[in-house]
Amino acid sequence: MDADSPTRPGSRSPLEGAAARLAALGVILLVLAALGWIHWQRVFPPAAQPLATDDPAALCYVERTADIDAMQAEGSINAERAALFKSRAEAFCRAQAGQTSAPPSLPGQ
């Protein structure tokens, strides 16, 4: 016997069989399916919603974000500050249009 052969000639490990290879292939397919499910939105982003031209909050937000993007392109603000300004602009436009998520006022107030 040489050093490469198993202790008993003809004996095989259960990890060398076809069933083990099929199990490994199954695990790989499950991992790929899980990754696809987790990152589905990144791979296939949803279609952009059309802008409602009769929504005053949406029109206000589009104008404000254009101004913010211009400031970022000029270099007067960075990306982090632009994201902050956009979130504030959205809240401002919704409040201005009366689309806040605040609870309605109580009667008599």
Give the closest residue to 97 by CA, choosing from 47, 50, 49, 52.
52
Domain range holding 28?
14-43
Q: Is residue 61 part of a domain?
A: yes
pLDDT above 90 (res 21): yes
CB 52 within 8 A of CB 58: yes
Q: Is residue 102 part of a domain?
A: no
Q: Is residue 51 part of a domain?
A: no
**In the prediction, which pLDDT does 8 show?**
62
Higher pLDDT residue, 66 or 46?
66
Higher pLDDT residue, 73 or 8?
73
**In the prediction, which pLDDT does 105 show?**
55
Rounded to two decimals, what is the model's pTM? Answer: 0.44
Q: Is residue 50 part of a domain?
A: no
Q: Is residue 1 part of a domain?
A: no
Q: Are residues 60 and 37 in the same domain?
A: no
Tell me which range, 4-8, 56-60, 73-77, is most confidently predicted by mean pLDDT.
73-77
Helix/strand/coil for 106: coil
Q: Are residues 61 and 91 in the same domain?
A: yes
Q: Is residue 6 part of a domain?
A: no
User: How many domains does the structure of the chain reveal?
Assistant: 2
**In the prediction, which pLDDT does 1 show?**
47
Residue reference for tokens 């913010």: 68
